[in-house]
Amino acid sequence: MKTPNASKLAAALEALPDGVILCDAAGRVLWANRRARKWLTLPADEGTEARLPAVLPGLPWPPETTGHVRSPEGRLLSVQAWPLAGGEEFVLQVRSASTRSDDWQPLLLRQLLEGLRRPVANIRAAIETLASYPDMAPDLAAQFQHIIREQTEALARLLEQTVSAYTRYLQAHWPLERMPAAALLQLMASALQQDARRVRIAAACPPGIVQADRRLWFRLWELLGRQLRQVLPRGKEWVLRAESDERLLWIDLCWQGRGLPPERLQRWLTQTLTLDEQGLSLTLSEVLAWHEADLWVQRDARGARLRLVLPIFS
Q: Where do the domains of the chain lie?
A: 6-96, 101-171, 177-311
CA angle 271, 274, 276 (to 5 degrees): 170
- pLDDT tens, N- to C-terminus, the chain (314 residues): 444 455 677 777 787 778 888 888 888 888 888 888 888 888 766 556 788 877 777 777 776 666 777 777 777 788 888 888 777 888 888 887 654 444 555 666 666 777 788 888 889 999 999 999 989 999 999 999 999 999 998 888 888 777 766 655 544 455 688 899 999 999 999 999 876 578 888 878 888 899 898 888 999 999 999 998 888 877 778 899 999 887 889 999 988 877 888 899 999 999 888 766 555 677 888 888 888 888 998 877 766 789 999 988 86
Contact 191, 218 (CB under 8 A): yes
What local confidence, expressed as pLDDT, does residue 171 receive?
Answer: 46
Classify residue 208 by burial, with Cβ atoms within 10 Å: 0-12, 13-18, 19+. buried
Q: Which residues of 234-247 are buried (b: 16+ CB within 10 A; e: fewer)?
A: eeeebbbbbebeeb
Nearest to 75 by CA among 48, 49, 56: 56
Measuring CA to CA, how many Å separate 159 from each of 117, 120, 156, 163, 166? 13, 13, 5, 6, 10
Measuring CA to CA, how many Å separate 215 from each of 17, 101, 218? 30, 18, 5
What local confidence, expressed as pLDDT, does residue 115 receive?
Answer: 78
Q: Is the pTM of this model over 0.85?
A: no
Q: Could you give the count of Cα atoms lying within 13 Å of 305 in the half-sphere of its Cβ?
A: 19
Contact 30, 89 (CB under 8 A): yes
Residue type, 84: L
d(CA 252, CA 242): 6
Measuring CA to CA, how many Å separate 270 from each of 10, 142, 280, 286? 31, 42, 15, 9
Interacting residues of 280 by C-beta distance below 8 A, sequence separation 6+: 108, 111, 165, 274
Contact 275, 286 (CB under 8 A): no
The distance between the two most distant Cα atoms of the chain, rounded to a whole number of Å, is 80
CATH number of 177-311: 3.30.565.10
What local confidence, expressed as pLDDT, does residue 262 receive?
Answer: 87
Nearest to 1 by CA among 95, 84, 86, 93: 84
CATH number of 6-96: 3.30.450.20
Same fold, 101-171 and 177-311: no
Measuring CA to CA, how many Å separate 310 from each of 30, 98, 150, 169? 29, 10, 47, 23
Architecture (CATH level 2) of domain 101-171 = Orthogonal Bundle (1.10)
Contact 71, 247 (CB under 8 A): no
Instruction: Name the CA dihedral angle for 238, 285, 274, 264, rounded to a multiple of 10 degrees.
Output: -60
> Sheet containing 294-300: which strands, arranged edge to edge?
199-201, 238-244, 248-254, 303-311, 294-300
What local confidence, expressed as pLDDT, does residue 242 receive?
Answer: 92
What local confidence, expressed as pLDDT, does residue 28 receive?
Answer: 87
Contact 23, 93 (CB under 8 A): no
d(CA 184, CA 30): 40
Residue type, 29: V
